[in-house]
């Protein structure tokens, strides 16, 4: 970022941020700052899925106008995504498992990642034929494919400052769902073997404000190095934007020790990390009074 930003704004403190979020409820309402019980979660998930399918139409799993006419080969590898700063698994369950076969979920806040793991295990243990109406508690909706073991989620506790998508390390808490050729094997052992498989998409939503400017650029570089296919891999950033007056700007939030960056500030960080913008789009349909939220696809 610019020198003026670095000199005038405090840098996010990882421990302060974790302490704040650990004090919030481990629920959609908690991770969404009180907006988890309205329309925002559904509108957000729908916008995210449409954004991904516009860029990678082969991810579409149902007949539609965007689904390629030629189906993928049965031998094609399973699409794989990384969900960082994943909270209680909202994006994993409501977005990524609808499009990807395998997800690695990374979250530093212990109560949040424990709740995500509980939700995944509850889905895996559901009786045959069990279901829940979508207008009921979204936290209780079964995770797509987990019980049938057609999809998988691996859970890791780690901070973004330390996490390297190309060489994942952290506290592996477990895995649910698909086990590949290791049917009946220990889920954690399977997860450890699968950690360094690379990713088709790295999803970053409402978490990158916890990173200082240098840490943000470094994380982007590590994420790009984790692409399975450099020509097709994507980093998706979905974040709040503060206002600006023609130059990069950021606002520091003392409550959770985070930065809200402007559009130009985000674009400057992308350029410094050697990333180009493939597509960008404002998320529509959110309640009035919130920051503008924008999605960027990068590689």
Annotated binding-site ranges for S-adenosyl-L-methionine? 85, 90, 160-161, 205
The interaxial angle of helices 213-224 and 263-272, nearest 10 deg, is 50
Residue position matching structure tokens 């499009």: 99
Rounded-to-integer distance, Cα 211 and Cα 258, Å: 7
Rounded-to-integer distance, Cα 143 and Cα 125, Å: 11
Buried-exposed string 261-291: b where 16+ CB fall within 10 A, e elsewhere: bbbbbbbbbbebbebeeeeeeebeebeeeee
User: Residues annotated in the binding site, as ranges?
Assistant: 85, 90, 160-161, 205
Using only the alpha carbons of the chain, give its radius of gyration: 19
The interaxial angle of helices 14-22 and 110-124, nearest 10 deg, is 50
What residues contact residue 40 under an 8 Å CB cut-off, 6+ apart?
Answer: 32, 286, 287
Pair 223, 235: CB distance under 8 Å: yes
Pair 95, 159: CB distance under 8 Å: no
What residues contact residue 86 under an 8 Å CB cut-off, 6+ apart?
Answer: 92, 105, 106, 107, 112, 113, 116
Query: For residue 111, which phi and psi values (nearest 5 degrees)?
Result: -65, -30
Rounded-to-integer distance, Cα 146 and Cα 142, Å: 8
């Amino acid at each position: 970022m610019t020198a003026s930003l670095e000199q005038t704004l405090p840098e996010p403190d990882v421990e302060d941020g974790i302490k704040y979020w650990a004090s919030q409820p481990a629920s959609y309402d908690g991770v969404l700052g009180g907006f988890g019980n309205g329309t925002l979660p559904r509108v957000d998930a729908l916008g995210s899925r449409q954004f991904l399918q516009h860029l990678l139409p082969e991810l579409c799993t149902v007949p539609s106008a965007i689904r390629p006419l030629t189906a993928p080969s049965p031998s094609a590898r399973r699409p794989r995504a990384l969900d960082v700063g994943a909270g209680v698994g909202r994006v994993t369950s409501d977005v990524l498992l609808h499009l990807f076969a395998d997800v690695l979920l990374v979250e530093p806040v212990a109560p949040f990642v424990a709740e995500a793991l509980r939700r995944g295990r509850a889905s895996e243990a559901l009786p045959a034929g069990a279901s829940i109406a979508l207008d009921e508690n979204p936290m209780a909706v079964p995770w797509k494919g987990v019980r049938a073991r057609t999809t998988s989620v691996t859970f890791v506790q780690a901070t973004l400052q330390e996490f390297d998508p190309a060489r994942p390390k952290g506290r592996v808490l477990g895995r649910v769902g698909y086990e590949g050729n290791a049917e009946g094997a220990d889920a954690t052992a399977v997860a450890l073997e699968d950690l360094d498989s690379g990713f088709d998409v790295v999803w970053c939503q409402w978490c990158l404000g916890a990173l200082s400017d240098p840490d943000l650029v470094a994380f982007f570089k590590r994420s790009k190095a984790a692409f399975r296919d450099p020509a097709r891999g994507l980093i998706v950033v979905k974040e709040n934007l503060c206002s600006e007056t023609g130059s990069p700007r950021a606002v520091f939030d003392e409550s959770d020790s985070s930065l809200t960056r402007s559009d130009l500030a985000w674009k400057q960080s992308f350029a410094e990390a050697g990333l180009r913008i493939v597509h960008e789009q404002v998320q529509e349909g959110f309640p009035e009074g919130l920051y503008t939220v924008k999605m960027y696809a990068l590689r």
